[in-house]
Chain A
Amino acid sequence: MATLKPRSTADIEATIQDTAARNESLEVVGMGSKRAIGRPSEATDVLDLAYIAGVESYEPEELVLSARAATPVAEISEALAARGQMLAFEPPDFSQLLGTGRGSIAGVFASNLSGPRRIKAGAARDFILGFSGVNGRGESFRAGGRVVKNVTGYDLSKLMCGSWGTLAVMTQVTLKVLPAPETEVSVGIAGLSHELAVRAMSEALKSSAEVSGATYVPRPSAETGAPVSQTVLRLEGIAASVKARAEMLRGLLSTHGEISQLDEQRSKHFWSGIRDAAPLADLREDYVWRLSVPPTRSFQVMADIAKAIDVNYYCDWGGGLIWLAVAPHPEARADVIRSALAPSGGHATLIRAPANVRRSVAVFEPQPQALAELTRRVKLSFDPARVLSRSRMYEGM
């Protein structure tokens, strides 16, 4: 296996064409922070985009930034913070969960993983405005633009999000950024059951408090420092508004239990932990799943899973996102988890497991036939020889 480090788009085109001619496959890598997610690579070579990096332009007054593919998210976040702006969808940092880090900006879009603010601000895919890339034929193309409102042609930028490098090699992305909130506080309720926590979070999310984070951590942990479950809601904005909304929430939730408050600093620390799956981080041997479900179904899904197996978990997104840790098992308990999910709708993604497990278990939710076939045709429309990250999402594709 060779690691190829292209220095230009022309290098990428040539590498892809050459690989396609040999009927081989390339593993596309930005910074490699999420390489261990997905089916294990079947690629003959690695296409490492390390040299395709750097912020190309940043216009704070336009809320737009363009960067080459492997630009570190850390570098972008720093540049944004210096101007009081941010990546509003809170891409996770996998230092604790996978022993890697925040990765590259193209990797963030290719995986479409978003943090707690997803419920208010949107996902990674809601912030990509355009990109340049090279498809599996080795042809350079672009889609989208540098403006938020744009319906010119198909929205191929969104299609890149969550495609895990299987459709095209992104070389440059243009994204929307947002002003960072001036301050934040969090409001917490201790000791709720999962069912009551979802009800409390739902009430808060239905109110006009503009909640930007809603999590339930059932397990006592070092992270929350609490001996009982914690239900925590985040409020962000200008100080006077945050204060007013915190009071509103306290009133609204007073019947649910005693209410505590996290100040700005503690709130920030707490939510970065929720973003990064920190409540499961000390379960070093366990396999980790990430489930997305309708928020009010979260309790039932977990009850069904807990009937069959022992798990540790916590919820984000008002109950709609479940991070789940299971003890090592050859099938990672996929059948239990996916059959619990089935009546509610949603999906389960295996985020952390050894390569042999990820080879035999469907890492991504299996699709019904018509959708699977359509997915396959879309893949082939970009990459007919299946050069790019072959089999990473679905076997053989």
Chain B
Amino acid sequence: MATTTATLTLSSADLLSDNLSLSASMNLYKGGTTDTGLEQMNYHRLVLPTGTVFDLIAESDALKDNSNYVYIINKNTDVTDYVLIDINDNEIGRLYAGDWLFMPWSCDLSASATDSSIEAEAVGHETIIEYALFHVGETLPTAGD
């Protein structure tokens, strides 16, 4: 098993009447285990053209029914550029230039479920995205040609 930690720090000296400082740290464990770390990770950097909703992280049999954690960052610098992050056309929110997200993700392949892929659409200009998926592991299912 691997040990991967995700640490968040939120801070501000002037948002409130006193300093804001919040820190949270977690280990990325497999679902249903006490302390068994996720063993695999995908890390990508790509360009999102505007005008099309893309499957950024597609659902797959290897990812179902366990713990997955997703990190996405918008690497553009123009503050007006943003990326819509959706699941099956349900917009979660907008990542403006420099913004990032980190969240668990349920890959649901049950018969009653609609597509659970994480989708992204660039608005304004094409956008450079980096994203990571931490997951329980995948084994290539099909032989090559």
Asked if chains A and B come from one complex, the reply is: no
Residues of A with Cβ closer than 8 Å to B? none
Residues of B with Cβ closer than 8 Å to A? none
